[in-house]
Amino acid sequence: MNQKYIIKFEQGTLEQSYKLAETDVIGGVNGIFEFLDETFIKQVLVNFANMRMNFIAAYQRYE
């Protein structure tokens, strides 16, 4: 995939994707799991909450 790792998170209908160049990751695939620490995962969840609020607000304006 163009020498990139793609990390994808899904929650319901929402999705977040992150791309990391292979050269930026030490230790290959195992290095990605070190990158995905508790702080990062917590922020992903916050992002999902914000995405959901934005989507609901847009949907309410549409009605």
Q: Name 5's bridge partners.
A: 20
- Distance CA(18)–CA(6), nearest Å, equals 6
pLDDT band for 1, please (50, 70, 90 cuts).
low
Question: What is the phi/psi pair of residue 5, to 5°?
Answer: -95, 135
Predicted local distance difference test score (pLDDT) of residue 28: 85
Extract the tokens encoding 55.
Answer: 């989507």
Extract the tokens encoding 41.
Answer: 């995962």
Tens-digit pLDDT profile for residues 8-55: 999 999 999 999 999 999 988 889 988 899 999 999 999 999 999 999
Predicted local distance difference test score (pLDDT) of residue 35: 86
Predicted local distance difference test score (pLDDT) of residue 29: 86
- Distance CA(62)–CA(49), nearest Å, equals 20
pLDDT band for 2, please (50, 70, 90 cuts).
confident
